[in-house]
């Protein structure tokens, strides 16, 4: 006889409302991607599933613009890929330079500290990015063995240029890890050409896939560092040696490492296929055009941006400063209740100061932008979202 009774809530049908997800992620999945999630399960080592994994690997190589053999999707969300980078590349003897343009540099510094490394952070004022000269000065001064940079900073809505940054790091004997969770597919990314050693992303942003499997790739240099560790990788689950075998990257017969998230891999395959069909160049162009359309609409409302210099704005996430007298949360609630549109608040230092508007993958369309602008305009002009003035 069961001692804990049947939960009543589970006897009701599952209810999921329809919402337009125009925040910093997840974005809405296309019908094609949702349909992939309903396909029958396969065994995680069945030949048909392995063939799909191989297609995913090719899709990641295309999206990252890399020929790296060690390219796969880690089971888990973007944080899982981040942990994979940290626990494979960092040992207590390492000196890690974490470049902070928002919360993700802080988050990586936290992960690197947990690996026992000496961690040095350099931080930019919100809404700004580092120049390659500034980064070179830091490399010279700190002499790190690993440097971490966030390409698309979703908390501050900046896009940190990483062109040729890997080549610069190699000059100083340093490995470069880049987070492109919020930017991949929307902004040009050339892993091999720019000398990036570890690149990772998430599924739920421009790829518009349900979070659950996160692409990552290791350069030969990163792989060598991993293979010549003095200490074992602290995590079994995220140890790239085991993962690379499961993903067929080491030329050895594949062995069971863990049960791959089968349906997430189907979704990722379809997200990557959608990107391949559109083509990277067209996807980059579409995101830039959509961002421009959004910027014009925001300017017409006389609102201001957290990132003043347009050159350093991230097209996938736009941070709009909340005008005086307006309660940001009331506006977000209004937009959600009336239009079923997500308008996110800030994160980290930007919390309470901005709204973050996402334009990602399937959601980056002129129609969605028009709807969002209309909802936002209404939201900030309606009396109910104002901060009551104290008399």
Query: Annotation-wise, does 356 bind a ligand?
Result: yes
Under 8 Å between Cβ of 313 and 158: yes
Which residues would be at the binding site for ligand PLP (CB under 6 A)? 24-25, 77-79, 82, 104, 150, 152, 154, 179, 181-182, 202, 211
Under 8 Å between Cβ of 187 and 314: yes
Closer residue to ligand PLP in complex, CB, 42/103 = 103
- What is the torsional sign of CA 59, 22, 289, 201? negative
Closer residue to ligand PLP in complex, CB, 114/229 = 114
Closer residue to ligand PLP in complex, CB, 179/270 = 179
Please report how close the Cβ of residue 316 comes to ligand PLP at its closest, in angstroms: 9
Per-position DSSP letters for 55-115, written without gaps between them:
HHHHHHHHHHT---SEEEEEESSHHHHHHHHHHHH--TT-EEEEEESSHHHHHHHHHHHHT
Q: Which of 257, 221, 204, 284 is nearest to 89 (CA)?
A: 221
Closer residue to ligand PLP in complex, CB, 82/119 = 82
Q: What is the largest CA-CA distance in the chain?
A: 75
Closer residue to ligand PLP in complex, CB, 108/334 = 108
Q: For residue 168, give both structure tokens.
A: 């610069």
Please report how close the Cβ of residue 271 comes to ligand PLP at its closest, in angstroms: 14
Closer residue to ligand PLP in complex, CB, 80/326 = 80
If you search the block for the tokens 């085991």, which residue do you land on? 242
Please report how close the Cβ of residue 155 comes to ligand PLP at its closest, in angstroms: 7
Closer residue to ligand PLP in complex, CB, 79/353 = 79
**Alpha carbons 363 and 378: distance in angstroms, whole number:** 21
State how far Cα 232 lies from the chain centre: 27
Under 8 Å between Cβ of 342 and 372: no
Please report how close the Cβ of residue 173 comes to ligand PLP at its closest, in angstroms: 26
Please report how close the Cβ of residue 179 comes to ligand PLP at its closest, in angstroms: 5
Q: Name the β-bridge partners of 213.
A: 75
Please report how close the Cβ of residue 324 comes to ligand PLP at its closest, in angstroms: 28
Q: How many CB atoms lie within 10 A of CB 382?
A: 14
Q: State the residue number with the nearest CB to ligand PLP.
A: 78
Closer residue to ligand PLP in complex, CB, 81/326 = 81
Per-position DSSP letters for 223-270, written without gaps between them:
HHHHHT-SS--S-STT-HHHHHHHTT-SSSPP--SS---HHHHHHHHH
Please report how close the Cβ of residue 140 comes to ligand PLP at its closest, in angstroms: 27
CA distances, 45 to each of 17, 157, 252, 257, 318 (Å): 35, 40, 14, 10, 42
Q: Collapsing DSSP states into helix, strand and coil, what is residue 172?
A: coil
Please report how close the Cβ of residue 110 comes to ligand PLP at its closest, in angstroms: 12
- What is the torsional sign of CA 359, 363, 365, 369? negative
Q: Which residues define the annotated binding site for substrate?
A: 356
Q: Which residues define the annotated binding site?
A: 356
């Amino acid at each position: 006889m069961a001692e804990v009774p049947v939960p009543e809530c589970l006897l009701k049908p599952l209810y999921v409302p329809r919402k337009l997800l125009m925040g910093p992620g997840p974005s809405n999945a296309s019908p094609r991607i949702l349909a992939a999630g309903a396909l029958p399960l396969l065994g995680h080592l069945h030949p048909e599933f392995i063939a799909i994994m191989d297609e995913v690997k090719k899709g990641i190589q295309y999206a990252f613009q890399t020929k790296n053999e060690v390219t796969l999707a880690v089971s888990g969300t973007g944080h899982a890929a981040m942990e994979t980078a940290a626990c494979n590349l960092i040992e207590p003897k390492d000196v890690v330079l974490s470049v902070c343009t928002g919360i993700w540099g802080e988050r990586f510094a936290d992960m690197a500290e947990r690996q026992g490394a000496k961690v040095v952070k350099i931080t930019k004022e919100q809404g700004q990015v580092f120049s390659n000269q500034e980064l070179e000065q830091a490399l010279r001064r700190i002499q790190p063995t690993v440097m971490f940079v966030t390409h698309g900073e979703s908390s501050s809505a900046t896009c940190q240029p990483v062109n040729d940054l890997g080549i610069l790091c190699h000059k100083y004997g340093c490995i470069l890890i880049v987070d492109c969770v919020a930017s991949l597919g929307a902004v040009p990314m050339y892993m091999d050409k720019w000398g990036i050693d570890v690149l990772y992303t998430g599924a739920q942003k421009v790829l518009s896939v349900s979070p659950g499997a996160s692409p990552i790739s290791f350069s030969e240099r990163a792989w060598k560092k991993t293979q010549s560790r003095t200490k074992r990788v602290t995590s079994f689950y995220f140890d790239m040696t085991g993962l690379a075998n499961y993903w067929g990257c080491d030329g050895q017969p594949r062995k069971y490492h863990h049960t791959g998230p089968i349906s997430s891999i189907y979704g990722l395959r379809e997200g990557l296929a959608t990107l391949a069909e559109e083509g990277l160049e067209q996807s980059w162009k579409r995101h830039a055009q959509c961002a421009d359309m959004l910027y014009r609409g925001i300017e017409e409302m006389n609102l201001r941006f957290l990132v003043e210099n347009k050159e350093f704005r991230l097209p996938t996430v736009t941070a709009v400063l909340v005008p005086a007298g307006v309660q940001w949360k009331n506006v977000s609630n209004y937009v959600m209740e009336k239009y079923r549109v997500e308008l996110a608040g800030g994160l980290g230092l930007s919390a309470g100061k901005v709204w973050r508007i996402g334009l990602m993958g399937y959601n980056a369309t002129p129609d969605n932008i028009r709807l969002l602008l209309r909802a936002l305009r209404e939201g900030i002009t309606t009396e109910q979202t104002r901060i009551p003035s104290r008399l």
